[in-house]
Structures are given as structure tokens and as C-alpha cells.
Amino acid sequence: MTQTSDRDILATFETLALQAGRAVMDVYEVDFPVELKADASPVTEADAKAEAIILAGLREAYPDIPCVAEEEASAGICPPELDGLFFLVDPLDGTREFIKRNPDFTVNIALIRQGIPVIGVVYAPARSVLYSASPEGAFRIDTVNHEPGERRNIIVRTPTRVPTVVASRSHRTEETDSYIQTCGVVELVSIGSSLKFCLLAEGEADIYPRFGRTMEWDTAAGDAILRAAGGTTRRVDGEPLTYGKRGQAEDCDFANPWFIADTKPA
């Protein structure tokens, strides 16, 4: 793929994320039922509507690139094979925050190329901000009524004397707390969804440890933005976090190991 086609894919991602975000907010602003999936995680009408918008748009624009999406995967619908190039979609990351009417939920779309997230968007519709990244860089775009405004380049910051650590609001674990204690004196920020990656990418935080379960669609878009901004996401053994993991003996397809995202260069 050329840089021009990368730009086209990113533009498609941004358009679809904004459309999906509008649909999510339509549900957010009314009373809505909450159901439980087979793994006991919650799901709402917003998840389904946003995923339908995104998948329809991706499959129309790029019919030859397979899609792996959270709700389809939960229903057992998944491409039989992946050749190293595919889309990862989380239509509503932070469903628990959404249910609580907390604004820390996002729409996530990413392109994976040979195990690496290279293009991604994270849209936080309740916060009116869209994060966007490709090999050309990472950007923050403030939105008005789900329309894009000014595009501002973002990069990670130089580590500070007292690092800011971001941790999950709804999925905090004892292992995560133990790791944070090894960091010494820190400023701790709790926030939901893939916004944790974005805080690192725009220079508002330094470390995001995740010693708990995540799936690839939870992390791919935010990870793409962090990497494009100059940061890294690594497993606890120091190796880069990769995508397209299938046939794992220790876990299901597309499950992530524990990882640490930070602002250190690769």
C-alpha cells in the first residue's frame, strides 16, 4: 500500500468513526436496555448500531481486506484466515462507562499490517475529540456535532521526574497496582477505554500498564496512535505487542497478554 492509499484508509476511518459516534450518542441520550454476552460482558444497542455502520463502510470501500469486529467475533463470525492485513473494530470500547453515563467511551478502528497497528482512529463522541494516526503521524481533532475541526499534530512527551501513570477505571487489578508501586512516586490517573493510549500520545501521561485481560480490538487503534506519536506498547517480557494472534494455547484467538504502553521510543 502506498502513502496515498494509507491516507484514503485513514479518511475512511475518520468518516466512519464520526458516523458511528453519532449513532452511539443517539442511544446514550435515551434509556436503553443492557444485555449480557456469553462472557458476561455487557452489550447495548449502541454497540450493534456502531458496528453495523463501520463494517458496512469498510466492506464497501475495501472488500478485499477482512474485518475482525468485537460483536461479530462474539457471535462466532470471523474470517477463516488472515494474511497479515486486516481491520480490527471495537464499535464501543468502554461499554461499562457508557452504561454509567461516564464520557470515557470510544469508537475504535485500526488497520493491522503484518502484526503491527499502522493506521487507527479513536473517537470519544461524548468528549468531542477524535484521535487519528497513520505512518505520517498522530493527530488530535476536536469535533463539533460529529464534524471534524482543526487537526493538531501530537507527540509523546519526554518522561517527567514524577511520571503520570494511567490505569483502567473499570478493570483495575492487583497486579496492576503492584506494578505501579514499583514505579515509585507517580501521579495516578484513572480513565476508561482506549483513551489511556491517547493520553500518552498527546503528552499528558507517561505509562499505561495493563496487567489484566484485553482483546486486540480493545487496544489496536489506541496502540496505533501511540506508536505514531513516538511511543511503544510491549509485553511484560519486553517484546512488542502484536496483532492477529490465533491458535493460542493459553488463551482464545485475539486475546492479548499483559502489556505496558509508554512514551519511550522503539
Binding site, by residue number, is 70, 90, 92-95, 218
**What gap in Å lies between CA 100 and CA 103, rounded to an integer?**
9
Residues of the binding site for Mg(2+): 70, 90, 92-93, 218
| Block residue for cell numbers 503492584 | 178
Residues of the binding site for substrate: 70, 92-95, 218
Q: In degrees rounded to 5, what are phi and psi of residue 135? A: -60, -15
Q: Find the length of the chain.
A: 266
The one-letter code for the residue type at 236 is: V
**What gap in Å lies between CA 117 and CA 135, rounded to an integer?**
10
**DSSP per-residue codes, 108-143:** EEEEEETTEEEEEEEEETTTTEEEEEETTEEEEEEE
Q: Is 21 helix (H, G, I), strand (E, B) or coil?
A: helix
